[in-house]
Amino acid sequence: MANSYLVEPDVNFVRQLKTMGGETLKKCYQCATCSVVCPISPDERPFPRKEMIAAQWGLKDKLVGNMDVWLCHHCNDCSTYCPRGARPGDLLNAVRAYSIQEYAWPKWLARIVPDPRFWWLLLAIPMAIFVMILGPAGYLKIPAGEIEFAKFFPTLLIDLIFVPLATFWVPLVFGIGIYRFMTDLHKNAVAEGKAKRKDLNIPDFLKSLACALPAILAHSKFDECSSNKDRYISHLLVFFSFLGLFVVTNCFFVALYILQLPGPYSMGNPVKILANISAVALLVGVILMIYNRLQDKGDNIGKGSYFDWSLIILVLGLVVTGILSEVTRIAHAPILAYPIYFMHLVFVFCLFAYLPFSKLAHLVYRTLAMAYSRYSEREPCE
């Protein structure tokens, strides 16, 4: 306390947090109930009381790049017990949304992804790209005969779009964000005395990452929540079904280009089974997420902003069109099957292309923060 600290409030930052779901932040009176009732906050320099005052004072450098913001799993036990209705859990969610935009590049895209006025533009971009590629090549009309999606949208063309997207765009754009994020994370942790080690050693960090993975896969932090227990199962379903679909996509990629086996594959194919199970799990998971959010009227999980809902709706669109593509194909309804398949690809594109800008970016940032907290010995490595 002997050190003097010149407070330089960033009023605009406070205003932005308030529009992103943190509108109650000014109600906090610093009683610190939140830091104690939080089931996952550490004993040393616990959160989120200090984050609340930093938000009130507009201390952006204490929030953006603060690993604690990402260690929070939005249980909202803090918000349930908060005597003032200041909703610390929702504030940290708003800080995360702000941070994603802060680290994302290019900036114009970082601004329009979370902006509800531009949802149509985000969908129009992939549609335009698809039309521009398919149109001149003579596709884009409903083919006759047995439904084969490759007749409508050749696999080669799909991969021409999606492979660069996944291997070039996402790593490049996200790489910039990740680099800046990690730099800030380390700087903030050292400055606030949360890090036991002052250097940032990559091999050791990767070891910490490996050590954080079991907790991430098991969703063990979610499991410690009490106000928001319902979220554990829905997030687990969504997480593992995405993992399943990732495995499926890679298997089919290998099947097509290395083994020369084009689809559609039989229903008894083990990879196809995994695909179908994952699709159903994803549908159930995302419906549970929507149900939980609507049912508790914002008491526990928080009302959620456009930033939260846009990802949920995108995933819902993705899984519904995915399942319907398959169903309409089997039902021999080309007039439905091809347009639905087209929309499915639009949603897949959105998921990948906007990954570093959307809420889905938490997949990477939270993972890194959880790894860093072990690296910095803020949390033990189980």
Partner 1 sequence: MTEEQRAEETKGSILVVGGGISGLTATLEAAEVGYEVFLVEKNPSLGGRVAQLKHYFPKLCPPTCGLEINFRRIKDNPGITFYTMAEVENITGSPGNYDVTIKVTPRYVNEKCTCCDDCAKACITKIPNEFNFDMSTTKGAYLPHEMAFPMRYVISPKIIGTEDANKCVEACKYGAVDLNMQPETITVKVGAIIWATGWKPYDASKIDNLGFEYPNVITNMMMERLAAPNGPTNGRIGRPSDNKDISSIAFVQCAGSRDENHLPYCSYICCMASLKQATYVREQFPDAKIYVFYIDVRAPGQRYEKFYKTIKEDENCFLIKGKVAEVQEDPSTRNITVVAENAVTGEKVQQTVDVAVLATGMVPNTADTKLPGGVKCDPDGFVISDLAAGGIFATGCAAKPLDVTSSNQHATGMALKAIQTLVKS
Smallest gap from Cβ 80 to partner 1, in A, equals 8
Compare residues 9 and 83 and give the one whose CB is closer to partner 1. Answer: 83
Smallest gap from Cβ 189 to partner 1, in A, equals 14
Compare residues 34 and 369 and give the one whose CB is closer to partner 1. Answer: 34
Among 29-37, 149-157, 253-261, 348-356, the segment contacting partner 1 (CB under 8 A): 29-37
37 binds partner 1 (CB under 8 A): yes
- Dihedral over Cα of 165, 166, 172, 175: its sign: positive
Smallest gap from Cβ 371 to partner 1, in A, equals 23
Compare residues 82 and 315 and give the one whose CB is closer to partner 1. Answer: 82
217 binds partner 1 (CB under 8 A): no
Q: How many Cβ atoms from other residues are within 10 Å of residue 115's Cβ?
A: 15
Contact call for residues 65 and 181 (beta carbons, < 8 A): yes
Residue 249: both structure tokens together: 């996509």
Contact call for residues 123 and 309 (beta carbons, < 8 A): no
Smallest gap from Cβ 85 to partner 1, in A, equals 5
49 binds partner 1 (CB under 8 A): yes
Question: Residue for token digits 């907790």?
Answer: 215
Give the separation between CA 18 and CA 23, rounded to whole angstroms.
4
85 binds partner 1 (CB under 8 A): yes
Smallest gap from Cβ 49 to partner 1, in A, equals 6
Contact call for residues 14 and 25 (beta carbons, < 8 A): yes
Residue 147: both structure tokens together: 């439904």
Compare residues 87 and 344 and give the one whose CB is closer to partner 1. Answer: 87
84 binds partner 1 (CB under 8 A): yes
Q: How many Cβ atoms from other residues are within 10 Å of residue 254's Cβ?
A: 12
Closest CA to 69 of 170, 184, 171: 184
Q: Which residues bind partner 1 (CB under 8 A)?
A: 1, 29-37, 42-46, 49-50, 81, 83-85
